Amino acid sequence: MKQSQYTSEIDSPATTASNELGMRGFASLIKTLDSTNKTNVKVQALTDYFLVASDKDKVWTIAILSHRRPPRPVNTTLLREWASELANIPLWLFEESYHIVGDLAETIALIVPSSKTSTEKTLTQFLEEMIALKKKSEIDKKTYLFENWKVLDYYERFVFTKLITGGFRIGVSQKLMTRALAKATEIDEDILAYKLMGNWDPNKITFQELILEENESDYLSKPYPFYLAYAIENEPQDLGDVSHWSAEHKWDGIRSQVILRNDELFVWSRGEELVTDKYPEFNLFIQKIPNGTVIDGEILPYIDRQIGTFNDLQTRIGRKTVSKALLKKVPVILKAYDILEWEGKDIRNKPFTERRAVLEKLFKEINHTDLPFHLSETIHFNSWEEAAKERERSREMFSEGLMLKHKDSPYLVGRKKGDWWKWKVDPLTIDAVLTYAMRGHGRRSNLFTDYTFALWNENDEGEKELVTFAKAYSGLTDAEFRKVDAWIKKNTLERFGPVRSVTPHHVFEIAFEGIALSKRHKSGVATRFPRILRWRKDKSIHEANSLEDLKLMIP
């Protein structure tokens, strides 16, 4: 067969993983995962890969996709220097390109000279080399990188560099990976999730030990699928007689299931990820809550006997291990909503009020001030107007609004309409001035689409100045973005790398979900999910709000 005259680089067709093994197969898998937004396609690609890859490569793939990559063997400063050296460009040009591309490994893969070859090595070989590389001299590291950058094709180069720099953000959660692994191995997904939790070393464990070996205790952790509510569509009056409904505040934390079986504790998050290790305070439940109990609730930060904000909780999420200092600073509680299993029996089909009675009885029996176990109080209203009034109190209660649950409702599976509704409060909004703009990424990389907004504040000299309070990059149409972009390019005051300061002129209405005091922010205030609601062309900058106005919104 005649060889194609040119090596395919970026847009060569993704060969299916099943044809290729080793690093080539892994790179091809990552490419397929990265090339689609469709969950089904991702799961299929992963399943196909798990069916053909070697056991060792499979363990490494699982490790990488569950954020267990080996420590970084080369720091990023050196990577940048060496990549620009190989590409024969000045370092500043590399940095500028990186600002625009937005991903270090991708920038390196694009900038170094393209190669016409591909690798025969396995993924495991590469990772073992990287582990060994960490201890080597700088010159050895450089030689190793150059050798590989020169012989790997574009996508392999990207994946190789990504393995060195950090995690793959390719829209593959551990959950999705677990689902594919379940399909490939025909082992129950929840059991696999349990097997994959905790500390295991991909360099030491075998696929047999990690995945295939059966273990009775695996089944102990199994959660129930969460029941999720839809947002209320019209007026709550449409739900009929208010006396049929039980209301609770909708707490803004991490929806979780806490399982106690066989003197063991398991905590699952709504993403159906096992997060037991992240919340060690719940270990106190063992022996207090009887075995054969499953509770549905919300993990909330609880600081100085008060519910904290999601902002507080953020410091706990994403940490694999929790330091003592952090445990003290941001302790958490479980705010219990419901009980799904009691005395080892699945009671999800009992009416909501009956389940709540069981939960409340349990709560009374074990009630202990030191136990991080709280009840999400149910509220019964005489009228929908009364309910609306309670909803108005949500922000001061640190809740997002109300949950309405039909008193006779069973605990269903997944997102279902009818019995449970969420009735959230409207977002907060404020009018702010556009002060800085940054280029977007990808298609937007030639447009200024990432904006910083400011509010008025009186400084120590009594002068009014604009203080940054939030960044937002969504909410405008493409046509609006183009208009703002054109305006920014003509009204730039100063340039700082990719960022431009602009003449304060345009006012935008910014919506956000929550608000809290924050030391990390210049304004002293952190907002949750800020986004652009509309372009207030009708307002001059002097009509924009002040930081005072924003602070008044803090409950």
Could you list the residues that contact another protein (CB under 8 A)? 4-6, 8-13, 34-37, 87, 89-90, 92-93, 96-97, 100-103, 106-107, 110-111, 114, 441-446, 479, 482, 486, 489-490, 495
Quick one: 13 or 414, whose CB is closer to another protein? 13
Quick one: 16 or 429, whose CB is closer to another protein? 16
With 0-12 CB in 10 A as exposed, 13-18 as middle and 19+ as buried, what is 90? Answer: exposed
Quick one: 101 or 544, whose CB is closer to another protein? 101
Taking the complex as a whole, the smallest distance from the CB of residue 122 to another protein amounts, in Å, to 24
3-class secondary structure per residue, 427-487: CEEEEEEEEEEEECCHHHHHCEEEEEEEEEEECCCCCEEEEEEEEECCCCCHHHHHHHHHH
> What sign has the CA pseudo-torsion 381, 385, 389, 391?
positive
Alpha carbons 547 and 410: distance in angstroms, whole number? 46
Taking the complex as a whole, the smallest distance from the CB of residue 366 to another protein amounts, in Å, to 48
Neighbours of 183 (CB within 10 A): 17
Alpha carbons 270 and 157: distance in angstroms, whole number? 36
Q: For residue 196, what are the β-bridge partners?
A: none
Residue 471 three-state SS = strand
Taking the complex as a whole, the smallest distance from the CB of residue 118 to another protein amounts, in Å, to 16
Taking the complex as a whole, the smallest distance from the CB of residue 166 to another protein amounts, in Å, to 15
Quick one: 339 or 437, whose CB is closer to another protein? 437
Taking the complex as a whole, the smallest distance from the CB of residue 488 to another protein amounts, in Å, to 12
Within 8 A by CB and 6+ apart from 312, the residues are: 301, 303, 330, 516
Beta strands in 193-292 (DSSP E): 227-228, 230-231, 245-251, 254-261, 264-269
Quick one: 32 or 246, whose CB is closer to another protein? 32
Taking the complex as a whole, the smallest distance from the CB of residue 98 to another protein amounts, in Å, to 9
Closest to 424 measured CA to CA, from 231, 228, 255: 231
Quick one: 92 or 219, whose CB is closer to another protein? 92
Quick one: 36 or 468, whose CB is closer to another protein? 36
Taking the complex as a whole, the smallest distance from the CB of residue 271 to another protein amounts, in Å, to 21
Quick one: 43 or 101, whose CB is closer to another protein? 101
Neighbours of 118 (CB within 10 A): 16
Q: How far apart are the first and last CA of the chain?
A: 72
Q: Nearest 5°: CA angle at 233, between 232 and 236? A: 60
Taking the complex as a whole, the smallest distance from the CB of residue 484 to another protein amounts, in Å, to 13
